[in-house]
Amino acid sequence: MDAQFALAGKDFAISVTDKKVARSIVTMKHNLDKTYELTPSTLISVAGEPGDTSNFSEYIQGNVRLYSIRNSQDLTPSETANFIRGELATALRSRRPYQVNILVTGFDKNTGEASLYWIDYLSAMSKLPFAAHGYCSYFVYSIMDREYTADITLAQGLEIVKKCMATLKMRFLVDFPDYTIKIVDKDGIRELPMSEL
């Protein structure tokens, strides 16, 4: 029951994930950050089985850092997304596939553009202006589709995020009291507290 959605403008991307970890009828944790910073300007948010998400994310994080050390440069968001997709595809064909859905948000300093990649547990990947995983997608896609424009600003993007969270609070069976909101832009990755939204 994860809530995970994101959107990308020309020069920024916003990633939103809930902080709850639940299994069946039991909530195990209320304060988990389900995002991982891979480079100073690339972030992934994960949804799925708790063990798979942490194992796979830490594996990807370690390999992306190793690439940066060996080559004295960071992977771009596009290269990172393709690497993740390849690793998921390899695991899918093994005896140990990962049940993890990923949103890759990043800012490419070479092109000056932000991007968002949607990757599911079957290693399907697509570059999108907005995306979601989990049951929340039934509610937030219609809002993002209606409100999103190609020349969206950061303030407009945060308004969309507020509308998505209000809709989830009003209509979704599961209550998500807290979210991790992270913004990726030319200045890097920063977290936005819920109180400042």
Model confidence over 112-168: pLDDT tens digits?
999 999 999 999 999 999 999 988 899 999 999 999 998 999 999 999 999 999 999
The CA distance from 62 to 184, in Å, is 20
Q: How confident is the model at residue 176 (pLDDT cuts 50, 70, 90)?
A: confident
Would you state the pLDDT for residue 175? Answer: 80
The neighbour count for residue 12, using CB atoms within 10 Å, is 21
Do the Cβ atoms of 157 and 6 come closer than 8 Å?
no
pTM above 0.95, yes or no: no
Closest listed residue to residue 35, CA positions, set 27, 26, 46: 46
Q: Per the structure block, which two tokens stand in for 142?
A: 């219609």
Q: Per the structure block, which two tokens stand in for 169?
A: 């609070």
Output the CA angle 46-50-69, nearest 5 degrees: 55
The CA distance from 132 to 47, in Å, is 10
Tell how far CA 56 is from the center of its chain. Answer: 14
Position with higher pLDDT, 80 vs 27:
80
The conformation of residue 30, written as its DSSP 8-state character, comes to: S
Provide the H-helix boundaries in the chain: 50-71, 77-92, 137-147, 154-171
For 6, 38, 94, 95, 143, the CA distances from 43, given in Å and listed in that order, are 11, 6, 26, 28, 23
Q: How confident is the model at residue 60 (pLDDT cuts 50, 70, 90)?
A: very high
Query: In this model, does residue 21 exceed pLDDT 90?
Result: no
Cβ contacts of residue 142 below 8 Å, gap of 6+? none
Per-residue pLDDT averaged across 10-31, rounded? 86
Label the pairing between strands 125-127 and 130-133: unpaired
Would you state the pLDDT for residue 191? Answer: 94
Would you state the pLDDT for residue 164? Answer: 94
Q: Per the structure block, which two tokens stand in for 138?
A: 């039934």
Per-residue pLDDT averaged across 8-36, rounded? 88
